[in-house]
Chains A and B, each alone.
Chain A
């Protein structure tokens, strides 16, 4: 049994947690939900003993949590692995006892664990760095089995999993529960919370809003508790007068595009001014590759892409022709974490030789305010913002560059509902202004909620293009799996 009482934690002037308390029984799955910045991750780190709370206590089975308590396993949102070691070595890293080590036996044991989990397609002798991201996430979870910890903390573990792998992960969580372990689970996805959790703990701005059995709450109630607004307000969408047969010239014209290794395979697609065209597909379906090719970030082997009537060459030219891109990998190439907000907003659109600090600051401030971004000052580093606000900075670049074409690769991945809604509202706004939005996503309610048409990709090929008004999650999913 896990008992937390009166936990408070401050970072400087920011109150991350204020008098948060809850209890959870062994053999339960407790979901912690809340917007980014609500204190979930801080609470997780306190439960693991990585952080000491300023006030309050945490007890597991009657004993207080020690610093980096071995009874607790925390599976991080970001992968913490040694890419040059094998999967087996990663699973047992730090758990080795004794002086000698038998790689062969370790691989057998690791394979046994992976097979038990239903991930027998992952080879325990594979080098971790060569595995796809989703498989590496599984390795993290396999560690918890190897470590035999009574308390398992999962911080958004599904963010890089395919739906098939997600199902397997849920089965595994079910197994952990049956074994009498306590699983604490952070997720942004309400469906997941509903599917696997027994209890929900909702945090908002570092405060505990409620803790209740999951079954007794509706989605509406959960969202309202999280953000203080109702679910019908999540996908703001004006009535856009979109008619694809109006004879407009396409703003994006992709014709028979292929890339090496079948990453893209004869893709033909057109997008028109004033529409939001979604690209649905699983991880590795080619949706990111397609967007990157349209931006000129990656070369294509054959076929042609024209945007705004110009053949695509290089990202520099694309930005000059007012085509902008938001990456799904915020930390890899989405934003400059260590540069200021202003710097990030203006990087793609600087033309002259001189930089005008005052003018840039004011402009950045304007765009960021329009997106309801929360920040202390435009000269602060982007690293200091929450994920949702970082993503708004990336989006503000396109507004500042006065883009006509918005290429958005899963722009709302891993950000809180409030920030998502702000971005949806802005996407709706620019589409109304006659701009073209091409948006890849894996979260179907989102695509159905804000797109006009949805193109479905699978294994590098375009399977179908469906009207959002008539499409259903089932009809899209069927084509995703084609």
Chain B
């Protein structure tokens, strides 16, 4: 049944893509357009991996965008200080992981809802990022391989087909999807999201699992920040504003339930692609931004309505 819903999201993306291909065959029916679309999906896509785990565990993380911005600042500052891209990369992931750990500890420790906790950290982490950068955009001003992870492939790199960042994204989606179904940790995350009380009764360490999920998600938001840094070469404390909502939207389009216990990583990935495709298509067609936003909103509502309709049909046959 889960597979069906992923296929559904995939077909929805194909349909959207096909629609624009008919309207603008010259641009849409090309490999380079697909490649561009993948690159434009990387930031939200990587974040959506973490967000899927959080939502399946029954939580929500509103701080994702702030964490990504915080990571760009940490990465840029590290690069400027050490001139070592590996260290900068680690700084991004570590900044995300630490933020996630804090979110997890606060959610589990305060026994407060994750909505409130991460609403708080959304503001606080954005503030910290601004404080560290001195409320400025940190420019890096050097050329390094790390600025080509999400940029267009040079002719000598054409053999890669997709940008390295896009490959990384697909790899991590596959890995996270496998881990969700084939590791004890993954199954425990689903169990906690499906029914926390029953999970506790079964002896699962619910609090620890939550802390782990938020930390893991934080690391993915850090990776999203890394990609943002890679694209812009800037440590920008104001970047990724509102990205958390796009990630949540992608996860929901991908078939997740905000009540937890349900969700799909591939579904979320196609959810991201649907949103990117609409964005690109509308830009190429010259459709104004406001219409594009209405369209995306309508798609989210349709996804939810379809999901409810499927669920009600399933119940009726029981």
Residues in A lying within 8 Å of B, measured CB to CB: 11-12, 295, 297, 314-320, 325, 327, 332-339, 343, 347-348, 350-355, 357, 383-384, 397
Contacts and interface: CB of A to CB of B under 8 A. Distances in A.
Given A353-B185, A355-B184, 6 more contacts: A11-B317, A297-B200, A297-B201, A315-B203, A320-B203, A357-B182
Nearest to B315: A383
Nearest to A352: B184
Contact of A333 (B183, B184, B201, B262): B201
A350 B188 CA distance: 10
A108 B186 CA distance: 54
5 nearest A-B pairs in the assembled complex, by CB-CB distance: A333-B197, A319-B203, A12-B317, A348-B202, A316-B203
28 contacts: A11-B316, A11-B317, A11-B318, A12-B317, A12-B318, A297-B200, A315-B202, A318-B203, A325-B201, A327-B201, A333-B197, A333-B200, A335-B198, A336-B191, A336-B195, A338-B195, A338-B262, A339-B190, A339-B191, A343-B190, A347-B204, A348-B202, A351-B184, A352-B184, A353-B184, A354-B183, A355-B184, A383-B318
Contacts of A318: 203
A350 B187 contact: yes
A61 B13 CA distance: 56
B187 A355 contact: yes
Interface of B: 181-188, 190-191, 194-195, 197-205, 261-262, 316-318
Contacts of B199: 336, 347
B200 A315 contact: yes
A314 B198 CA distance: 14
B313 to A, nearest CB: 10
A317 B200 CA distance: 12
B194 A334 contact: no
Given A12-B317, A354-B182, A355-B182, A333 B187 contact: no
A334 B317 CA distance: 24
Nearest to B318: A384
A446 B261 CA distance: 36
B261 A338 contact: yes
Given A350-B187, A354-B184, A336 B204 contact: no
B110 to A, nearest CB: 19
Contacts of A351: 184
A346 to B, nearest CB: 8
A316 B204 contact: yes
B183 A355 contact: yes
Contacts of A354: 182-184
Contact of A355 (B181, B201, B261): B181
Contacts of B201: 295, 297, 315, 325, 327, 333-334
Nearest to A297: B201
Given A297-B200, A316-B205, A397-B202, A347 B187 contact: yes
Contacts of A332: 197-198
Name, among B197, B198, B202, B204, the residue most crowded by chain A CB atoms within 10 Å (CB to CB). B202
Contacts of A320: 203
- Most chain B beta carbons < 10 A, residue from A347, A352, A357: A347
A310 to B, nearest CB: 14
A339 B2 CA distance: 12
A336 B194 contact: yes
B184 A350 contact: yes
A334 B187 CA distance: 18
Q: Which of B181, B191, B205, B261 has the most CB of A within 10 A?
A: B191
B203 A333 contact: no
Contacts of A316: 203-205
Contact of A353 (B183, B194, B318): B183
A23 to B, nearest CB: 30
A383 to B, nearest CB: 7
Contacts of B194: 336-339
Contact of A348 (B183, B185, B203, B317): B203
Contacts of B203: 314-320, 348
B57 to A, nearest CB: 13
A350 B183 CA distance: 10
B182 A339 contact: no
B198 A343 contact: no
A339 B202 contact: no
A11 B317 CA distance: 5
A347 B205 CA distance: 12
Contacts of A315: 200-203
B111 to A, nearest CB: 15
A258 B174 CA distance: 51
B198 A319 contact: no
Contacts of A295: 201
Contacts of B184: 350-355
A348 B201 CA distance: 8
B120 to A, nearest CB: 26
Nearest to A296: B203
A288 B155 CA distance: 71
A317 to B, nearest CB: 8
Contacts of A383: 318
A353 B187 CA distance: 10
A453 B199 CA distance: 31
Contact of A319 (B186, B187, B202): B202
B178 to A, nearest CB: 11
B235 to A, nearest CB: 37
A343 B191 contact: yes
A336 B193 CA distance: 10
Contacts of B197: 332-333
B191 A347 contact: yes
B311 to A, nearest CB: 10
B56 to A, nearest CB: 12
Contacts of A12: 317-318
B202 to A, nearest CB: 4
B263 to A, nearest CB: 12
A333 B191 contact: no
A120 B124 CA distance: 53
Contacts of B204: 316, 347-348
Contacts of A343: 187, 190-191
A154 B317 CA distance: 25
A334 B188 CA distance: 16
Nearest to A315: B203
B190, B203, B204: most-surrounded residue (chain A CB, <10 A)? B203
A467 to B, nearest CB: 31
A355 B187 CA distance: 8
Nearest to B260: A338
Nearest to A337: B195
A468 B204 CA distance: 36
Nearest to B190: A339
A17 to B, nearest CB: 15
A348 B318 CA distance: 27
B318 A334 contact: no
Contacts of B190: 339, 343
A369 B202 CA distance: 22
B199 to A, nearest CB: 7
Contacts of A317: 203
A260 to B, nearest CB: 18
